[in-house]
Amino acid sequence: MSASQETPRRHYGVIDPARARRRPRVGLLGGSFNPAHEGHRQISLTALHRLGLDEVWWLVSPQNPLKPEAGMAPLAERMATARAVARDPRIRVTDIESRLGTRFTADTLEKLTRRYPGHGFVWLMGADNLLQIHKWRDWQRIFHLLPVAVLARPSYSLKALSAPAAQRFLRSRWPERLGRRLVQAEPPAWLLIHGPLNPASATAIRAARRMGRREGKGAST
């Protein structure tokens, strides 16, 4: 084994031989996608490239347990928009959570890893979610189930590194340059991918639509 291959084993955690054998390599991006936008596409393409993944699956969530139901577009509508935004055969838009009957990420990941034992999964999320993940149910289980890649997001990335989850798993953080080996890592193992940044946000899109509707009404009276 070359010196560069030994680096992660010695300093950054352990390569799990079973995970190293698994194919295909799949990033899981859970989200409300209310609606999907270029930020989702951008981080998916970044993850495909920087983590050496074969596919990214968008898990369009029936209902984020921490978000209000009011204002959440129907799942079918969010799926259709997500398919239109993805525009890449490696990005698969799925309603897996709805099919599995799960709402909490830890439950979803447990069922998925059991259902697809030959797949090498990585959990993907934006830096804003690293700041919040300690509020999710059984959140530490997520880090013990799968390697995690956090994608930078404007105004969140620096703060995210002092988040409770980043602190709790401080010793399991890998350097970004070892991204292509992350899928083989024995959890817990996570890293932050610093860029490129994309400012798109579903909240901003919804606010712009509301404003457009108000202006439209104003113009017609």
Ligand X SMILES: Nc1ncnc2c1ncn2[C@@H]1O[C@H](COP(=O)(O)OP(=O)(O)OP(=O)(O)O)[C@@H](O)[C@H]1O
Q: Which residues bind ligand X (CB under 6 A)?
A: 29, 31-34, 39-40, 43, 125-126, 128-129, 151, 153, 198, 200-203
**From CA 79, how far away is CA 152, in angstroms rounded?**
24
123 close to 109: Cβ distance less than 8 angstroms: yes
Kind plus residue range of the DSSP H or E element containing 21: helix 17-21
* Residue 43 binds: one of ligand X, ligand NCN, none (C-beta under 5 to 8 A by kind): ligand X
* Residue 27 binds: one of ligand NCN, ligand X, none (C-beta under 5 to 8 A by kind): none
Binding stretches for ligand NCN (CB under 6 A): 30-32, 59, 61, 64-67, 104-106, 129, 136-137
25 close to 60: Cβ distance less than 8 angstroms: no
Q: Which is nearer to ligand NCN, 105 or 172 (CB)?
A: 105
Q: Which is nearer to ligand NCN, 66 or 170 (CB)?
A: 66
**H-type alpha helices, 116-201:** 127-132, 139-145, 157-160, 164-168
* Residue 179 binds: one of ligand X, ligand NCN, none (C-beta under 5 to 8 A by kind): none
Strand order in 55-60's β-sheet? 91-94, 55-60, 25-31, 120-126, 148-151, 190-193
- Least distance between ligand X and beta carbon 188 (Å): 18
- Least distance between ligand X and beta carbon 154 (Å): 7
